[in-house]
Structure 1
Amino acid sequence: MNSRPIRIGVQIAPQHVDYSAIRQVAARLEDAGVDIIFNWDHFLPISGDEHGKHFECWTMLAAWAEQTQHVQLGPLVTAVAFRNPDLVADMARTVDHISDGRLILGIGAGAMERDFAEYGYEFGTPGGRVAALAAALPRIEQRFAKLNPPPLRKVPVLIGGGGEQRTLRLVARHADIWHWFSSGAEFARKKQVLAERCAEIGRDSGEIELSAGVNGVPEVTGTPLLEQGVTIFTLEVHGPEFDLSTVRAWVTWRDQLSE
Structure 2
Amino acid sequence: MTRTIRIGLQLQPQHQPDYGVIRDTVLRAEDAGADIVFNWDHFYPLTGDPDGAHFECWTMLGAWAEQTERVEIGALVTGGGYRNPDLLADMARTVDHISGGRLILGIGSGWFEKDYDEYGYEFGTKGSRLDLLAEYLPRITDRLHTLNPQPTRHIPILIGGGGRRKTLPLVAKYGNIWHTFGQLDTHIEKWGIVEQRCVEIGRHAPDIERSVPWPGRDRAADYVAAGISLFTTGIGGPDYDLTPLIEAIGWRDENSPPPLSGLA
Q: TM-score, normalised by structure 1?
A: 0.96
Give the Cα separation in 2 of the matches to 1:153 and 1:204.
Answer: 20
Aligned length: 256
Q: Which runs of 4+ in 1 moved over 3 A?
A: none
2:262 matched residue in structure 1? none
Q: Percent identity?
A: 53
* 1:22 aligned partner: 22
Q: 1:30 and 1:244 mapped to 2: Cα distance? A: 11
- In 2, the alpha carbon distance for the partners of 1:208 and 1:198 equals 10
Which residue of 224, 228, 231 corresponds with 2:229?
A: 231
Superposition pairs for residues 206-245 of structure 1, below 5 Å? Answer: 206-215=206-215, 217-218=216-217, 220-245=218-243
Query: 1:170 offset after TM fit, Å?
Result: 0.5
Instruction: Name the counterpart of 1:6.
Output: 5
Aligned to 1:197: 197
Looking at structure 2, the residues matched to 239 and 110 of structure 1 have their Cα atoms a distance apart, in angstroms, of: 22
Q: Cα deviations across residues 91-150 of structure 1 (Å, max 9, x unaligned)? A: 000000000000000001111111100101000011111111111111111111110101
For structure 2, the residue ranges without an aligned partner over 5 or more in a row are 259-264
Q: CA deviation at 1:51?
A: 0.3
Which digits, 9 at most, give the CA deviation of each residue in 1:201-259, with x for residues without a partner?
A: 222211111111124x32x1311110111111001012222111221111111111123
Separation (CA, whole Å) in 2 of partners of 1:224 and 1:193: 20
- Equivalents in 1 of 2:163, 2:171: separation in Å? 10
Please give the secondary structure, in 2, of the residue aligned with 1:34. Answer: coil
Task: Quote how far apart the aligned CAs of 1:182 are.
Answer: 3.1
Residue of structure 2 in register with 1:45 after alignment: 45
> Superposed, which structure 2 residues align to 1:152-171 within 5 Å?
152-171=152-171
**SS in structure 1 of the partner of residue 103 of structure 2:** coil
Q: What does residue 119 of structure 2 align with?
A: 119
Structure 1 gap ranges (5+): none
Q: Which residue identity lines up with residue 139 of structure 2 in the other structure?
A: R
Alpha-carbon distance in 1 for matches of 2:181, 2:59:
24
Give the letter for the 2:7 counterpart: I
The alpha carbon displacement at 1:7 in A equals: 0.5
Corresponding residue number in structure 2 for 1:82: 82
Aligned equivalents of 2:129 and 2:197: distance in 1? 20
How far did residue 29 of structure 1 move?
Answer: 0.2
Following the alignment from structure 1 to structure 2, what is the Cα–Cα distance between the partners of residues 250 and 214? Answer: 7
> Normalization by structure 2: what TM-score?
0.94
Segment of structure 1 superposing worse, 236-245 or 39-48? 236-245
2:261 aligns to what?
A: none
Deviation at 1:193, TM superposition (A): 1.7
Q: Which residue of 1 aligns with 2:57?
A: 57
Q: Partner amino acid for 2:255?
A: L
Worse-matched range after superposition: 237-246 or 95-104: 237-246
- Write the distance in 2 (CA, Å) between the matches of 1:189 and 1:211: 15
- State the superposition RMSD in angstroms: 1.1
